[in-house]
C-alpha cells in the first residue's frame, strides 16, 4: 500500500491562482444558438443550469476567434469586443453561484461550417453558407479536404497563419476582459490546429510541415502567444485529439511529446479527447466504450507529467471517482450526462460523500430539499434517496 493520499472526485483542485471546488467540469458543447456570435437567452439558461448544478468549472462551447471560420453558423463568437458583454454575463452568473467559467477558443479550419446534429450534422455546402450572408472560408495547412463531404480548404500562407495566431491572442484578451477564469485552446477534432498536427492533413514543405517537430510548431506558437497575454494566475487548457485513430496518423506518443512542449509553453492542463480529423477517419477510428479516452489521459498525465482532464462516456460518479483515485486524470469533464441531468455533479457529490443533505444544490433549493427529506423518507422509505 502506498502512503500517497488518494484523491477523490470531490476534492478541490488548485491550478495557478484558481481553486476548483471539486474535480467535475462541464465539457464544451456547441449550441448553434448564437446570433452573430452573441450570447442569447438560450445560453444564459443553458450554462446557468450547469452553473447551478454543482460543477466546479463550466466550459463554453467552442467559441469562434474568427467570424469566417466557425464550427457552425450560430456558434458563440469572441472575434470582436462587442462579444465581451454577453460572455461577461455568463462569467458573472458563475461567480455569483460558486462556479468558475471558462471559454473554449476555436478556429474550425478546414471543417468550418457544419449543420447542427438535429439537421444532419453535415458539412454545409458553399451555397448553404453563402445564403447565410456571412463571409466564410475553409483553410488548412494544405489544400486537402477533410473528406469528400467538405470543400477543399485554402492552404494558409505563413502571413495568414500569423494573423490567426493574433486572433487567438486578441480572443484571450477579450476572455479576460469578460471575467473568464480559464481558456481552453481547441486543438482537437480535426479543426485548424489539429489539422496542422496530423500528417494526413498537413503536407506542407515549409517549417510547419514534414517532421513531427514542424507539425507541432504552430500549436506551440499559438500556446506561447496566448500564454503571454493570459494572466499568469489563470490556467490555460488545451483540448487535444490524442490520436487520429488511423494508420500513420497522429498518435499517443506524438501527444505525449506535444504535451511536454505545451507544458514548457505555459499550458497547465491537457483535455484528452480523440478523433474527428475527417469523416472517413471518424467512422473507422477509436473504439467507443465507457471511458474510452481515459487511457489517453493516463498516459499523458504520467509520461508528460502534466495535469489532465479526462472526457468521453464517463457516466457514473463511481467511475469518475475511480479515474481520479487511480491517478488517470486530475479532472473529469462530462458532456451528455449533464445534458441529461444538469445536476449530475451535485448528485455525484451526494452519492460519493454519503451525505444526507443537499448542500451541493443552490441554497435557494437545498433548504427546501433538506426540509422535504424526512417527510419523504417517512412516506417512501429508502427510495427517498
Tell the smallest beta-carbon distance from residue 64 to ligand FNR (Å): 10
Ranges assigned E (strand) in 220-336: 236-241, 269-273, 307-311, 331-334
- Least Cβ distance, residue 363 to ligand FNR (angstroms): 28
Q: Which is nearer to ligand FNR, 186 or 204 (CB)?
A: 186
When the beta carbons of 129 and 272 are compared against ligand FNR, the nearer one is: 272
Measuring CA to CA, how many Å separate 256 from each of 18, 43, 207, 296?
25, 35, 21, 9
What part of residues 80-119 is at the interface with ligand FNR (CB under 6 A)? 104
Q: Is 336 in the site for ligand FNR (CB under 6 A)?
A: yes
Give min distance, CB of 190 to ligand FNR, in A.
11
Rg (CA), the chain: 21
User: Looking at 47-55, 81-89, 216-224, 332-340, which segment touches ligand FNR (CB under 6 A)?
Assistant: 332-340
CA separation for the pair 75, 214 (Å, rounded)? 31
Contact region for ligand FNR (CB under 6 A) — 24-32, 93-101, 200-208, 374-382?
Answer: 24-32
Which residues between 235 and 294 bind ligand FNR (CB under 6 A)? 239, 273
Instruction: Closer to ligand FNR by CB, 29 or 155: give it.
Output: 29
* By the rule CB under 6 A, 61 interacts with ligand FNR: yes
Q: With CB under 6 A as the contact rule, which of the stretches 139-147, 228-236, 308-316, 377-385 interacts with ligand FNR?
A: 308-316
Secondary structure of residue 192 in the 3-state scheme = helix
Nearest CA to 232 among 183, 163, 162? 183
Interacting positions 133-192 with ligand FNR (CB under 6 A): 186, 188
Length of the chain (residues): 385
What residue has cell string 508528460? 304
Beta strands per DSSP E along the chain: 13-15, 18-20, 24-26, 57-64, 100-106, 139-140, 154-155, 182-187, 236-241, 269-273, 307-311, 331-334
Residue 204 or 348: which CB sits closer to ligand FNR?
348
> 307: closest CA among 281, 274, 331, 335?
331
Query: Which of the residues 191, 208, 218, 343 is marked catalytic?
Result: 191
Rounded-to-integer distance, Cα 76 and Cα 384, Å = 40
- Closest contact distance (angstroms) between CB of 338 and ligand FNR is 7
Kindly state the number of chain residues that form the binding site for ligand FNR, as judged by CB under 6 A. Answer: 19
Q: Quote the least distance from Cβ 202 to ligand FNR, whole Å.
A: 20
Tell me the C-alpha distance between 277 and 248, whole Å. Answer: 13
Q: Confirm whether 191 is a catalytic residue.
A: yes
Q: Are 132 and 126 in contact (CB under 8 A)?
A: no
CA distance 33 to 219: 29
Binding of residue 313 to ligand FNR (CB under 6 A)? yes
CB of 158 to ligand FNR, least distance (A): 27
Q: Which stretch binds ligand FNR (CB under 6 A): 1-9, 122-130, 206-214, 311-319?
A: 311-319
Tell how strand 307-311 and strand 331-334 pair up: parallel
Pairing label, strands 139-140, 154-155? parallel
Is 334 a binder of ligand FNR (CB under 6 A)? yes
* Pair 359, 345: CB distance under 8 Å: no
Which residue has 477534432 as its cell numbers?
189
Check binding of 30 to ligand FNR (CB under 6 A): yes
Q: How far is the CB of 104 from ligand FNR (least distance, A)?
A: 6
Q: Which stretch binds ligand FNR (CB under 6 A): 49-57, 193-201, 297-305, 312-320?
A: 312-320
Catalytic residues: 191
Residues at the site binding ligand FNR, with contacts judged by CB under 6 A: 27-30, 61-62, 104, 186, 188, 239, 273, 311-314, 334-337
Amino acid at each position: 500500500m502506498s502512503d500517497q493520499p488518494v484523491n477523490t472526485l470531490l476534492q478541490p483542485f488548485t491550478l495557478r491562482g484558481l481553486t476548483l471546488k471539486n474535480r467535475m467540469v462541464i465539457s464544451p458543447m456547441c449550441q448553434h444558438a448564437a446570433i452573430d456570435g452573441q450570447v442569447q437567452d438560450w445560453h444564459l439558461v443553458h450554462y446557468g443550469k450547469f452553473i447551478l448544478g454543482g460543477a466546479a468549472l463550466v466550459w463554453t462551447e467552442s467559441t469562434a476567434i474568427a467570424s469566417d471560420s466557425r464550427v457552425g453558423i450560430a456558434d458563440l463568437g469572441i472575434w470582436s469586443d462587442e462579444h465581451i458583454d454577453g460572455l461577461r454575463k455568463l462569467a458573472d452568473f458563475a461567480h455569483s453561484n460558486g462556479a468558475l467559467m471558462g471559454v473554449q477558443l476555436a478556429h474550425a479550419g478546414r471543417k468550418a461550417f457544419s449543420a447542427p446534429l438535429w439537421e444532419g450534422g453535415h458539412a454545409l455546402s458553399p451555397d448553404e453558407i453563402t445564403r447565410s450572408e456571412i463571409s466564410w472560408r475553409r483553410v488548412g495547412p494544405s489544400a486537402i479536404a477533410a473528406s469528400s463531404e467538405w470543400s477543399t480548404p485554402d492552404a494558409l500562407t505563413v502571413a495568414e497563419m500569423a494573423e490567426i495566431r493574433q486572433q487567438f491572442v486578441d480572443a484571450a484578451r477579450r476572455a479576460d476582459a469578460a471575467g473568464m477564469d480559464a481558456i481552453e485552446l481547441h486543438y482537437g477534432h480535426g479543426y485548424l490546429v489539429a489539422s496542422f498536427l496530423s500528417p494526413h492533413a498537413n503536407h506542407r514543405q515549409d517549417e510547419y510541415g514534414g517532421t513531427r517537430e514542424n507539425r507541432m510548431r504552430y500549436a506551440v506558437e499559438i500556446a506561447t502567444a496566448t500564454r503571454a497575454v493570459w494572466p499568469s494566475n489563470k490556467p490555460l487548457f488545451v483540448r487535444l485529439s490524442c490520436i487520429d485513430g488511423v494508420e500513420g496518423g497522429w498518435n499517443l506518443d506524438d501527444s505525449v511529446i506535444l504535451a511536454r512542449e505545451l507544458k514548457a509553453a505555459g499550458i497547465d492542463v491537457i483535455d484528452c479527447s480523440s478523433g474527428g480529423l475527417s469523416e472517413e477517419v471518424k467512422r473507422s477510428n477509436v473504439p467507443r466504450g465507457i471511458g474510452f479516452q481515459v487511457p489517453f489521459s493516463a498516459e499523458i498525465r504520467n509520461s508528460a507529467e502534466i495535469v489532465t482532464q479526462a472526457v468521453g462516456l464517463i457516466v457514473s460518479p463511481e467511475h469518475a471517482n475511480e479515474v481520479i483515485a487511480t491517478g488517470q486524470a486530475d479532472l473529469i469533464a462530462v458532456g451528455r450526462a449533464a445534458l441529461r441531468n444538469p445536476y449530475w455533479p451535485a448528485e455525484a457529490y451526494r452519492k460519493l460523500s454519503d451525505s444526507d443533505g443537499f448542500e451541493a444544490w443552490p441554497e435557494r433549493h437545498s433548504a427546501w430539499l433538506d426540509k422535504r427529506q424526512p417527510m419523504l423518507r417517512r412516506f417512501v422509505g429508502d427510495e427517498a434517496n
